[in-house]
Structure 1
Amino acid sequence: MELLAAYAPWQLAAVLAAAFSSAFVRGLTGFGMAILLVPILALALSPVHAVLLTNFLSVFVGLSEIRRLVRGAERSAWIIIALVVLTTPAGLYLLSITTPDVARLAIAIIALSAFGAILLPQRAALEHHPATTGSVGILSGLMTGYAGMPGPPVVPYYVGRAIPREMAKASMLLIFTCASTTGLVSGAVLGVLDWSLPPLAVLLFPAVLLGNWLGNRASGRIGDGLWRTAVGAILGGAALAALARLI
């Protein structure tokens, strides 16, 4: 496989380790796989292929637990998913007409905003406000197309509210699975989807599956306070990384 030939042995080992660790974070917090995995994959693949490969892995692991996600997700997740499907193409178009520096600045600002939102007091009634749910869906779709990262708007929306942790995780993961599917469809329509990516995703999937399983087990053993701290730390790290790229 040509894509495998692009990796030196140490790079393959690093990618497998990254797939495992990013999936562990996903299982633990309900998000984070793309934030951690895409930059490492981009060392040997183009950014587009790195995003699409991560999308494949996200879809694979999401389908492996789809019944649990559908059963546990809040109803608002379906509204957000519908808006993500509608607005992802617009995000791709915006990416095509902006310079890389402007794109990096926008991503950094959104990541910082998400981190700041996590620090706010928990809010119980946001799910009853259609404008808030709609804004999250639109922004998440734009971010899916623009950067392959639907998480920054979605994570504060669920983690920052006083709802059960498992409902928040299921809602986020269901949205991310559907957003990744939308990203793959958009990539195919635009002609940028390399069909040698799925076999590579299959090769990495056992490490993702194991990491996700262990993360889920660990999540059940920690309190809500520590879980929210872990979520905030990952969002903060992503925001700092985005700012470092600008500098």
Structure 2
Amino acid sequence: MEFLAGFSLVQIAVAIAATLGAAFIRGLTGFGFGILLVPILALALTPVEAVLAINIMAGLLAFTEIRMILREAEKSALVIGALVVVGTPIGLLLLDATPQAIARLLIALIALSAFFAVLMPKRGPEQPGIGVTSGVGISAGLLTGFAAMPGPPVVPYYVGRDIPRVTAKASMIGIFGIAALAGVGSGAAIGVLETRIILLGLALFPLVLLGNWIGSLAFGKVSDRLWRTCVGVVLAAAAIAALVKLL
């Protein structure tokens, strides 16, 4: 545990509590891990450290659910996932070049945008055209690199349509897994992925598994309206807390 010498006790405590809570929401809904965790973790770590640590955890978690993803995900997830890989390095380069205070503010605003996205009324089950799908993929990639948050464009794409909840969840999990791996690979490629960040992500991962498992037990046992409202409230609280801390 020598790598923890690089972090204060407050940073470690914040990371543990925030990771467990965000993982629970992710298990319940299929999304929200990065959206919830980045604004909080970025207050204890640098934005780059927070984004990379979360991408490590999210990528490992997706591997544990690969069978469900392959069985239930919509084919559009492959297109969006491929475009995420293209956009992620650009987003991470932008994050690395942005002053930390500004980056934290932008990350909080991105989280707040997700709150409004999940409250939008549902559309029909039809899959959007290639233009909309491509836009979702590129923007999700940029947000993956900059904030470990592919959710704001991806969540409305699936949750906003009248499709089975398991299909939406599997599609989002698959995309977020690809996004996480792209984020980690981009961090290594541009030289900002430190060993201590890898070790921190690995150390927190058991908490991710625990929180995700508890949340998964509740998946399907609450009404669609209730879980959408619950996630919206949590997203808003996380974003507002981050904004208050910054401003």
Measured after TM superposition, the shift of residue 103 of structure 1 is 4.7
- The percentage of aligned residue pairs carrying the same residue is 55
Measured after TM superposition, the shift of residue 97 of structure 1 is 5.1
Measured after TM superposition, the shift of residue 125 of structure 1 is 4.5
* Residue 21 (structure 2) pairs with residue 21 (structure 1): yes
Q: Which deviates the most, 106-115 or 149-158? A: 106-115
* Cα contact 2:118–2:232 (8 A) shared by 1: yes
| Alignment length (residue pairs) | 247
- RMSD between aligned alpha carbons? 2.5
* Cα contact 1:72–1:170 (8 A) shared by 2: yes
Structure 1 portions without partners, runs of 5+? none
Q: Which deviates the most, 40-49 or 225-234? A: 40-49
What is aligned with 1:6? 6
Q: Which deviates the most, 184-193 or 30-39? A: 30-39
Measured after TM superposition, the shift of residue 161 of structure 1 is 1.0
- Whole-angstrom distance in 2 between the partners of 1:104 and 1:162: 34
* Residue 149 (structure 2) pairs with residue 132 (structure 1): no
Residue 158 and residue 40 in structure 1: after superposition, are their counterparts in 2 closer, same or farther (change >3 A)? same
Measured after TM superposition, the shift of residue 12 of structure 1 is 3.5
Measured after TM superposition, the shift of residue 182 of structure 1 is 0.2
What is aligned with 2:179? 179
What is aligned with 2:90? 90
- Whole-angstrom distance in 2 between the partners of 1:113 and 1:225: 19
Secondary structure, aligned partner of 1:136: helix
- Whole-angstrom distance in 2 between the partners of 1:128 and 1:9: 47
Encode CA deviations 1:151-170: one digit per residue, 9 max, x unaligned: 11111111111111111111
Measured after TM superposition, the shift of residue 88 of structure 1 is 1.4
What is aligned with 2:191? 191
Encode CA deviations 1:139-181: one digit per residue, 9 max, x unaligned: 1111112222111111111111111111111111111111010
Measured after TM superposition, the shift of residue 14 of structure 1 is 4.2
What is aligned with 2:214? 214
- Whole-angstrom distance in 1 between the partners of 2:104 and 2:45: 19
- Whole-angstrom distance in 2 between the partners of 1:111 and 1:18: 15
The TM-score with structure 2 as length reference comes to 0.87
* Cα contact 1:83–1:137 (8 A) shared by 2: yes
Q: Which deviates the most, 97-106 or 119-128? A: 97-106
What is aligned with 1:79? 79
Residue 194 and residue 95 in structure 1: after superposition, are their counterparts in 2 closer, same or farther (change >3 A)? closer
Residue 231 and residue 160 in structure 1: after superposition, are their counterparts in 2 closer, same or farther (change >3 A)? farther
Secondary structure, aligned partner of 1:127: coil
Which letter does structure 2 place at the counterpart of 1:209?
L
- Whole-angstrom distance in 2 between the partners of 1:38 and 1:56: 13
Equivalent residue runs for 1:48-67 within 5 Å: 48-67=48-67
Q: Which deviates the most, 89-98 or 210-219? A: 89-98
Residue 219 and residue 231 in structure 1: after superposition, are their counterparts in 2 closer, same or farther (change >3 A)? same
Residue 156 and residue 231 in structure 1: after superposition, are their counterparts in 2 closer, same or farther (change >3 A)? farther
* Cα contact 1:158–1:172 (8 A) shared by 2: yes
Encode CA deviations 1:100-159: one digit per residue, 9 max, x unaligned: 566556545544443333333211155142221111111111111222211111111111
What is aligned with 1:234? 234
The TM-score with structure 1 as length reference comes to 0.87
What is aligned with 1:141? 141
Q: Which deviates the most, 191-200 or 57-66? A: 191-200
Structure 2 portions without partners, runs of 5+? none
Measured after TM superposition, the shift of residue 76 of structure 1 is 1.0
Residue 11 and residue 191 in structure 1: after superposition, are their counterparts in 2 closer, same or farther (change >3 A)? closer
Residue 219 and residue 129 in structure 1: after superposition, are their counterparts in 2 closer, same or farther (change >3 A)? same
- Whole-angstrom distance in 1 between the partners of 2:8 and 2:61: 26
Which letter does structure 2 place at the counterpart of 1:18?
A
Measured after TM superposition, the shift of residue 243 of structure 1 is 4.3
* Cα contact 1:32–1:234 (8 A) shared by 2: no
